[in-house]
Amino acid sequence: MLICITMPVNKVPIEEFLELSRMHPVLDVRSPGEYQHAHIPAALSFPLFTNEERAVVGTLYKQRSREEAIKEGLDYFGPRMRPMVEHAEAILAGRTTKGRPPGKTLLVHCWRGGMRSGAVAWLLDLYGFDVYVLAGGYKSFRRWVLAQFEKEYPFKMLGGYTGSGKTEVLKELERRKEVVIDLEALAAHRGSAFGAFGQAEQPGQELFENLLAMQLNSALATGLPIWLEDESQRIGHINLPNAFWERMRKAPLYFLEVGFEQRLEHIVNGYGAFSREMLINAIIRIRKRLGPLETKTAINHLLEDNLKECFRILLWYYDKYYTRSLRQREQLDELLHSIPCEEVDAKANAEKVRALHQST
């Protein structure tokens, strides 16, 4: 909503834009609020308008005229032209590798690939930068994101009851050059009532999808199997996209068979350090499914500092829940590959997973 100028600036489709983004900075010229809601991973916030200014210009555009909106936008844009150029210079200088001069290429996008990105691209091009604008803006990126979830992928699922050390095994597989997407790391949540413990704030749904789509695209390009942890469709407040989750459910499942007592010990060691208040609140969140007697008993054990018996009740509950989910999976007999494991040992169990996968 600023100005429409014919410029010697390259407009490129999303696939080319993302390829260029591997080497050059991406400047998101939408408002800070739009960026905060969700953005292209690795893009930098480079707003043309503040949240308030965007609201004013948008209101003028809708209620008065395009021309009035452009004039108001120019009042905001004019005084910050030099600071924006200097900011762009600083961004490029910050990416300079030792012994090499700063690059000159910048990638720019707004919401639709229209006036905001056009105005900033014009300014940066005028100064002498090589500028590429995303055709269709962030909306075209979102269409690309949603399309990634419809693709076929060579998924390999890592399963196991709670406390089996699945996340640690995935990390070990990654260290051994396997292709891994850690859904819980992307969602900043471990997937249970206790899953937010020790985690950063979860991303919004849209940002999670953006992050996942980028990782899927990179993983698919390797041509190798893609390892994922067997998850429920919901991870905290994040929902895995339907088509993506359905493909997970139809993929081969490598299931870590770890004994109950070994898993219990692992859980106590992992969660026992958290405050009693946090643990009690988590138990209360599942009280309807856990049942009133088990909830009361688990909390009493906790108050008596008997962590092991408290978590024993919780582990029974989660085992029952996962067993039910397993039985609902179609063609389970064909998909399931059980892996007996003596201990919760990431290195040893990762090696067993790799050996079984190579033999099947």
Residue range 337-351, pLDDT digits in tens: 999 999 999 999 999
Residues 221 and 289 placed together within one structural domain of the fold: yes
Confidence of residue 1 (pLDDT cuts 50, 70, 90): very low
What pLDDT shows up at residue 360?
A: 83
Residues 202 and 79 placed together within one structural domain of the fold: no
Residues 214 and 285 placed together within one structural domain of the fold: yes
Cα 334 to Cα 227: distance, rounded to the nearest angstrom: 18
For the segment 216-222, the average pLDDT, to the nearest whole number, is: 97
Confidence of residue 49 (pLDDT cuts 50, 70, 90): very high
The dihedral through the CA atoms of 89, 94, 95, 98 has a sign that is positive
Quick: pLDDT tens for 247-290.
Answer: 999 999 999 999 999 999 999 998 888 899 999 999 999 999 99
> How many residues are present in the chain?
360
Residues 160 and 268 placed together within one structural domain of the fold: yes
What pLDDT shows up at residue 8?
A: 56
For the segment 292-315, the average pLDDT, to the nearest whole number, is: 95
Q: Which range marks the domain in which residue 108 is found?
A: 10-145
For the segment 36-62, the average pLDDT, to the nearest whole number, is: 93
Residues 195 and 52 placed together within one structural domain of the fold: no
Cα 192 to Cα 321: distance, rounded to the nearest angstrom: 11
| Domain boundary residue, one of 91, 113, 145 | 145
Residues 22 and 89 placed together within one structural domain of the fold: yes
For the segment 68-94, the average pLDDT, to the nearest whole number, is: 91
Residue 3 counted as domain residue: no
% of the chain at pLDDT higher than 70 = 96
DSSP letter string, 38-90: ---TTPEE--SS-HHHHHHHHHHHHHT-HHHHHHHHHHHHGGGHHHHHHHHHH
Confidence of residue 99 (pLDDT cuts 50, 70, 90): low
Residues 69 and 30 placed together within one structural domain of the fold: yes
What pLDDT shows up at residue 162?
A: 95
| Domain boundary residue, one of 145, 179, 204 | 145
Residues 114 and 191 placed together within one structural domain of the fold: no
Residue 132 counted as domain residue: yes
Residues 254 and 323 placed together within one structural domain of the fold: yes
Lowest mean pLDDT among 35-44, 71-80, 138-147, 164-173: 71-80
| Amino acid at position 317, single letter | Y
CATH number of the domain where residue 166 is located: 3.40.50
- 317 CB-near residues (< 8 Å, 6+ apart): 286, 289, 290, 294
User: Does the structure show a pLDDT above 80 at 2?
Assistant: no
For the segment 22-40, the average pLDDT, to the nearest whole number, is: 96
What pLDDT shows up at residue 191?
A: 82
**Which active-site residues does the annotation give?**
110
The strand order across the sheet containing 105-109 reads 10-12, 130-134, 105-109, 26-28, 44-45
CA nearest neighbour of 157 among 356, 323, 344: 356
What pLDDT shows up at residue 58?
A: 86
Residue 5 counted as domain residue: no
What pLDDT shows up at residue 308?
A: 95
Residues 139 and 255 placed together within one structural domain of the fold: no
Query: How many CB atoms neighbour CB 307 within 10 A?
Result: 19
Number of domains in the chain: 2
Query: How many CB atoms neighbour CB 83 within 10 A?
Result: 9
